[in-house]
Structure 1
Amino acid sequence: MELTGLPNRTVSPAPAGARRHLRRALGLVTAAALALAGVGPVAPPPAAAQQRGGGPSVIRDTEIENLLRDYAAPILRAAGLTQQNVRVIVLNDRSFNAFVMDGRHIFINAGALFDAKTPNEVIGVFAHETGHLAGGHLLKLREQLARAQTASIIALLLGAGAAVAGGGNAGAAAIMAPQAAIQRSLLAYVRTQEDQADHAGVKFLNASHQSARGMIELFKRLSNDALFNSRYVDPYLQTHPMPQERVAALEVIAKQSPYFDVKDPPALQARHDMMRAKLAGFLERPDTVARRYPSSDQSMPARYARAIAAYRHADLRNALAQIDSLIQAQPANAYFYELKGQALLEAGRGTEAIAPLRRAVQLAGSAPLIQVMLAQALINTNNPATAEEAVGLLNTALAREPTIPEAYDQLAMAYGRKGDLGRADLAAAQAALNRGDLKTARQIAARAKARLPVGSPPWVRANDITNDKPQSANARN
């Protein structure tokens, strides 16, 4: 389900021809479900993004993920969902959108993070999506879709019977009329869920002593953008309530809260501004970054964005000077050291990248993504001694996050540097498995079995992969 019903997503009316309608009637429910997902086109991923399985690219970044975790935690706690281990996934899409598609993930586009001016606006987004999770809307929607599909099949059969008996346009009308009613009923149900999620979101914000002002201001801004288009749409063919009505209903309940005027803490706003600067540096063209953050702006977010843009566009010497200046200003900021290490590593200067990445790991604490980057720098030295350290870092990181992109590839190289070919093959098999390449995974796992002691834990995991038990791919080596 998507947050951005502003502008509303419209489901087209049924086609006029009875024959064409017969072919597409069962697709009606699927079309409605896809309209709820709201995943738009994705731009080519930047260096900070990964693409898996041909779907939208996913941006992984420790700094951003830690901030979003801090945003979501009070809301999830207020909703009683802490034990579900709900994760926030950032998609590399510049449009403003957020949605849930299962009970364990909240998806949000980078565009939503970049366009949100305050932490409270993003927190309002999470409150709304948590309303869907807490209300069990996904399960209920699946049940509603199943009922709609059953009703669609019955309508088709009845309509087909009428076509045989009456023929001509009478049969076509008999088919289309029930389908239009089913469509409107389904969309009305979805709009009700959206309204319930809005109300639940305000409740969670109140329970966590936070304001709903950000949610309202965000919806107002999107409402203004959609005002012209909303004049020409059928409100009964929308997945979300009409913009102005939605904002008005939210304002009534939000302004009753004693926390409506609560402001974001300055430290949180500062982290938010740094996140937006980081996204700009990675996702926007350097000239756009320069216009958004001109050299006259000496704030930390502006300096951060310009440093990232410089390194990304092959001006490494200038970038390193800017990053060192950032480190001098905030010597305890782990993410500045991470950025320096990443810039050096991607420039082929892996040995120089080790020191700043070590410091980043020390300052960030448990940060699997940074640990993997440090391991990569260690592996690039081609030294068996540093390969041993890389193995330890990678196994520690994978124990916390078993699906980190390319971590198993790095682990395979680290074991290769050590001459442990059996474990190297097992890691390569797990890498292929994570990519969904089951055929290659089984082939490499079979080779790993031949090199590993029979019955040892690594041999057992390799055997599981060859026998189609992929859950073992998340085990450590």
Structure 2
Amino acid sequence: MSLRIVLRKKLSGGLAAVVAAAVTLAPLAPASAQQGKGPPILRDTETEVLLREYTRPILRVAGLEKQNIQMVIINDASFNAFVADGRRIFVNYGAILQSENPNQLIGVLAHETGHLAGGHLAKLRQQLATAQTQMIIATILGAGALAVGARGGGSGLANAGAATLSAPGEVIRRSLLSYQRQQEENADRAGVKFLTATAQSPKGMYETFKRFTNENLFAARGADPYLQSHPMPADRVEALEGLARQSPYWDKKDDPALQLRHDMVRAKISAFMERPDTVARRYPLSDTGLPARYARAISTYLHGDLRSALSQIDGLIQVQPNNPYFYEVRGQALLEGGRPAEAIAPLRKAVHLSNNAPLIEMLLGQALVASENKAYTDEAISILRAAVARESEAPLGYSQLAMAYGRKGDYAEADLASAQAAFLRGDNKTARELASRAKTRFAVGSPGWVRADDIVTAKPLSGQ
């Protein structure tokens, strides 16, 4: 489906701490992750497919091809990417939107793959654990000195104890920051290595960090380099440039077809995530390119002119009749425009052309359910069950499945699907209540009863 926002389940406490500790491209992770809340994510088949194609060759040469590394798009307009758990690369939509060519974004992904390949998260956790132990020892020793000083009636030992309490914390903090800076430098080197091994230019990676340098020059002026979690910008870019220019692929350009796909995704993101006046400035009517037409068509449907939007989308389909995402957008526009029955045909086409992409299947299932035609109920259930089997973390699939089962009168399965949707949204209380009710409707020990019982007995998400 096209750029739907989903609330991600909360990160565990330790994982959120690592995110906040900044194994990231930019200095800060998204605020939602820092506060221990699940970061809102964006789901879109077209964008995710492109990101997977960008990362696949890099993961292969990094030895991570079989690790099932996932790409997750964060609903944040800033330019940022980070890894948080060893199996996912998080990318702000702003990083995609602001990358002018594929190579710039691929360079960022290569850098993050460097963190994964280097095992930096596990090593950072060990460093944090060691630092915590050192702090505990320092605190005990400092407290002991304070106690001795107090018993002796003198201030010398007491002052020494106070110094013992305060000094190690600063030393340990500087040590951790130094370690993180080294990790960033290692990820830069690994990223260039992976790009060269896949016959891709590291120039985009250099251009991205160069831009950060220009943006951060004022902020970094007078900063203590030993109190930074990342290498100082100028030093980092200088080292990266020297390394990147050694690549035989430095001047290699992106394939024009890939550039077009990249621009199409950027246009889609702009249309869905930016104000219509901003979209109009980015893609004026004088721009007759396909990305500009894509952005204007989406923006038009989102802001109320369905008839004009459909005409524009049909024009796109004439240019690329086998593009599944044009049919997907047409179906979504009709569905959200209150014409679900008309949305079914283009969504069927989108499912077929996308090789049964599960997120698009869910949108088709939603149209079938919303049509209120009981003849579609069994088909909707079949499609949605297939979709959630391959995309098990999308609440929409389960919520639509619950409606389809409810329409059929199968309330046990409806309750179970509703419980699964609530659980994926992080609403454990509602999930347990619905799953408990589902258990009373299923035969004890049946597959449905077991799945419901798993939700009832599941460990609550952090903070709930």
Same fold (TM over 0.5): yes
1:79 aligned partner: 62
How is 1:349-388 mapped onto 2 (pairs within 5 angstroms)? 349-388=339-378
The 8 Å contact of residues 383 and 417 in structure 1, kept in 2 or not, is answered as no
Against the structure 1 CA distance between its residues 56 and 445, is the aligned structure 2 distance closer, same or farther, given a 3 Å change threshold? closer
State the SS of the aligned residue for 1:365.
coil
Alpha-carbon distance in 2 for matches of 1:143, 1:240: 19
Contact 1:223/1:244 (<8 A) preserved: yes
Deviation at 1:253, TM superposition (A): 1.7
Q: Which moved more, 1:134-143 or 1:376-385?
A: 376-385
Partner residue in 2 for 1:306: 296
* Worse-matched range after superposition: 395-404 or 453-462: 453-462
| 8 Å Cα contact 1:449-1:463 kept in structure 2 | yes
C-alpha separation in 2, matches of 1:349 and 1:237? 57
Tell me the alpha carbon deviations over residues 309-343 of structure 1, each in whole angstroms, 9 at most, x when there is no partner: 11111122221121111112211111111111111
Q: Distance in 2 between matches of 1:32 and 1:125?
A: 19
Do the aligned partners of residues 410 and 431 (structure 1) sit closer, same or farther apart at CA in structure 2, a change above 3 Å counting?
same
With 444-453 and 181-190 compared, the bigger mean Cα shift is at 444-453
Q: Which amino acid aligns with 1:189?
A: Y
Moved more, 454-463 or 358-367: 454-463
Amino acid of the structure 1 residue aligned with 2:22: L
Segment of structure 1 superposing worse, 259-268 or 134-143: 259-268
Please state whether the residue corresponding to 1:406 is helix, strand or coil.
helix
Change (3 A) 1:226 1:413: same
Equivalent residue number for residue 193 of structure 1: 183
- Give distance in 2, aligned partners of 1:230 and 1:316: 48
Shift of residue 373, structure 1, vs aligned partner: 0.3
Report if the CA contact (8 A) 2:18-2:121 is conserved: no
Deviations 1:189-223 (Å, cap 9, x if unpaired)? Answer: 11011111111111111111111010001111111
Q: Structure 1 residues 131 and 411 mapped into 2: Cα distance closer, same or farther (>3 Å)?
A: same
Could you state the TM-score of these two structures normalised by the residue count of structure 2? 0.89
The answer to whether the aligner puts 1:153 opposite 2:131 as a matched pair is no
**Partners of 1:176 and 1:384 in 2: CA distance:** 71
CA distance in 2, matches of 1:210, 1:322: 36
Residue in structure 1 matching 2:284, options 294, 297, 306:
294
Post-superposition CA distance 1:227-285 (Å, at most 9, x none): 12211211000011111111111122212121222211111110000111111101111
Give the direction of change, closer, same or farther, for the CA distance of 1:32–1:451 in structure 2 (3 Å limit): closer
Cα distance per residue 1:28-66 (max 9 Å; x no partner): xx9886241632347xxxxxxxxxx95321010000000
1:205 to 184, 195, 207: 195
Q: Where do 1:248-287 residues align within 5 Å?
A: 248-287=238-277
Counterpart for residue 34 of structure 1: 20
Letter in 2 for 1:244: A
Give the secondary-structure state (helix, strand or coil) at the position aligned to 2:286: coil
Contact 2:350 2:360 in 1 (8 A): yes
Shift in alpha-carbon separation, 1:60–1:388, aligned structure 2, 3 A: same
User: Contact 1:41 / 1:93 at 8 angstroms: preserved in 2?
Assistant: no
2:398 and 2:417 in contact (8 A); partners too: yes
Deviation track 1:147-196 (CA, whole Å, cap 9, x = no partner) reads: 11111112222223334423665543332222111111110011011111
- The one-letter code sitting in structure 2 at the alignment partner of 1:36 is A
Query: Unaligned regions of 5+ residues in structure 2, if any?
Result: 1-15, 150-155
Query: C-alpha separation between the residues in 1 aligned to 2:95 and 2:429?
Result: 38
Give the root-mean-square deviation of aligned CA atoms. Answer: 2.0
**8 A Cα contact 2:402 2:414, kept in partner:** yes
Give the distance between the partners of 2:18 and 2:409, measured in 1 at CA: 54
One-letter code aligned to 2:122:
L
8 Å contact from structure 1 (residues 211, 259) kept in 2: yes
**Contact 1:281/1:289, CA 8 A, preserved across alignment:** yes
- Partner Cα distance (2:305, 2:29) in 1: 34
Q: Percent identity?
A: 62
AA aligned opposite 2:144? G
SS of alignment partner, residue 88 of structure 1: strand
CA distance in 2, matches of 1:149, 1:54: 24
Partner of 2:116: 133
- What corresponds to 1:231 in structure 2? 221
SS in 2 for 1:227: helix
Give the letter for the 2:123 counterpart: K
CA separation of 1:405 and 1:447: change in aligned 2, threshold 3 A:
closer
2: distance between equivalents of 1:93 and 1:348?
Answer: 29
> Counterpart of 1:425?
415
Look up the SS of the partner of 2:231 in the other structure: coil
Tell me the residue number matched to 2:438.
448
Three-state SS of the structure 1 residue aligned to 2:63 is coil
Tell me the residue number matched to 1:110.
93
Residue 75 of structure 2 aligns with which residue? 92
| Aligned counterparts of 1:65 and 1:169: Cα–Cα separation in 2 | 58
Question: Distance between the aligned counterparts of 1:100 and 1:446, measured in 2?
Answer: 36
Rounded to whole Å, the distance in 1 between the matches of 2:93 and 2:319 is: 27
Rate the CA distance shift 1:296–1:230 in 2: closer, same or farther, 3 A. same
Task: Find 2:324's aligned residue among 328, 334, 358.
Answer: 334
Q: CA–CA distance in 1 between the matches of 2:414 and 2:125?
A: 43
For the residues of structure 1 that align with 2:459 and 2:216, how far apart are their CA atoms?
49
Q: Number of residues paired by the alignment? A: 432
Distance in 2 of aligned mates of 1:217 and 1:346? 40
For the Cα contact (< 8 Å) 1:87–1:104, is it kept in 2? yes
Aligned counterparts of 1:191 and 1:339: Cα–Cα separation in 2: 43
Q: How does 1:210-221 map to 2 (within 5 A)?
A: 210-221=200-211
Quick one: distance in 2 between partners of 1:468 and 1:281? 39
